[in-house]
Amino acid sequence: MSQTAPQGLVPLPGSERKPLADVFPAGRDTGPAPKNEDVDVSVYLKPHVAHPASSQPGQHMTREEFAAQARASESDLQAITQYAQQHGLGVMGVDPVGRVVKLHGTVEAMQRAFGVELRHFEHGDEEFRTREGPVHLPAHLIPLVAGVVGLDDRPQARRRRHILVEAAQAAYTPPQVASLYHFPTQGNGQGQAVAIIELGGGYRKSDLTTYFGQLGLPVPNVTAVKVDGGKNAPTNPQGADGEVALDIQIVGAVAPGAHIVVYFAPNTDQGFLDAITQAVHDTTNAPSIISISWGGPESSWTAQSMQLMDQAFQTAGTLGITVCCAAGDNGANDGVTTDSLAHVDFPASSPNALACGGTHLESANNLITGESVWNDGSNGATGGGISDVFALPTWQANAHVPPSINPGSHVGRGLPDVAGDADPQTGYQVLVDGQQLTVGGTSAVAPLWAGLLALINQQLGKPVGFINPTLYQQINQAQVFNDIVAGNNNGYSAGPGWDACTGWGSMDGTKLLAALEPHV
């Protein structure tokens, strides 16, 4: 499938796609993509200056200040648009603040402009457009371009959600979980906006009315935002609707006063990245927290996509936005079956994200009686481990992050950072397309933390933003976390202090609020 670089073009570093046989060994190449097939791509530009401000708590910029300092130059934008137009591509949108140019054209025009070969591929019941090897550009554009996404529209991420239809050992409502974890009871998240990234599915207003009515809570203010043609499109409980319902209902139940903004995008690297970029720079809804319950093994991403998303998270921190990411539901190998190595989930492995792992939660009389690492064996286990891509962050230097269990025993970014109830056996009661279900997975933990942070932001009167350095360096973890010392994720084991299964552990929300106050 890969081809020699066309004359006059050179490879764009970080854009290489692995051979499809390495990623989808059971898939089938069905031939060249039709020349007249429509393709949309996003071209992301490199910043001209270093990141304009520290993303430490209390040192945030407004979106307007950031836009003034870090927007793409007119000359860079013009260079991309001129190149696109020379190759018969339409310019569908230019976002100087997000540093992205959106292009539209045929397969034939895209192949010529970016020096790629686009083909169709079948895997299971899905068919998608693929490419191998790097994207190519003229040498004079390479210093300007950070990445080109959208040429390949394979499914990029998996939702982090497990449904348990039969009776669970203990099924909680989100307010019950919040009570067990001592979430602050003053305030309701009023004045905060929580962004939720969704790559499929949808929600029904009738479900929200029924669900929150059953809990005796007001129906939250929920806004759906379309990204790259994505939209609120509910189908059935076994699809992505369960993810959407879980995310909205957890945030809305623990922080009923918060404005929930759901960004719907296609499940591609382009859709995922564009949704996050739009949420970060959204001056209309202005979210202070982003919850992401989708991800995939680091090995399934291109270097350019990981770098671009990590940069978006860094920008989020600068703007006072906390990014909460599910750490994965397939244990230490993150569901990879093509090798025997450990893998961690991205975007949770980004050092600019708060990675959320999972526990098994037991209680009696509104008190926690036991909590261990979530591990159901073959049915699911919390993700966690050591990144193969991102180095150990400075703020994690004293957390005693262990070496990777992979050959070489390197030490990189360790995850998760924090944890919460995720085992479907002790999962969350949700309403999906009219059906009452018990749902678990680390996809429940990201919105749980997002809801808690909405409460905390409201009480502090300012956003905590990029919270990781504070959690690791400026507070007494033993006073604000329930340390999880029992269990494993089929690769790493829990133990006192930070571990690669549950991070520092599950939260005591009220104590966390008190601990954060001096540092924000």
Catalytically active residues, by annotation: 243, 247, 443
CA dist., res. 311 & res. 51, Å (int): 9
Structure tokens at 482: 């329930």
User: DSSP secondary-structure letter at 58?
Assistant: T
State which amino acid sits at residue 51.
H
Which residues does residue 17 pair with via DSSP β-bridges, in sequence order?
Answer: 133
Structure tokens at 478: 């033993």
Sequence-ordered list of residues with C-beta below 8 angstroms from that of 27, at least 6 positions apart, any chain: 20, 21, 121, 122, 123
CA dist., res. 69 & res. 53, Å (int): 10
Of 401, 378, 376, 381, nearest in space to 391 by CA: 401
CA dist., res. 447 & res. 188, Å (int): 15
Q: Which residue has the tokens 């999880």?
A: 484
Taking the CA atoms of 211, 215, 218 and 224 in sequence, report the sign of the dihedral they define: negative
Pairing of strands 345-346, 193-198: unpaired
Neighbour-count burial for 449-465, b at 16+ CB within 10 Å, e otherwise = bbbbbbbbbbbbeebbb
End-to-end CA distance of the chain: 52
Structure tokens at 367: 């008190």
Contact status, residue 460 vs residue 363, Cβ threshold 8 Å: no
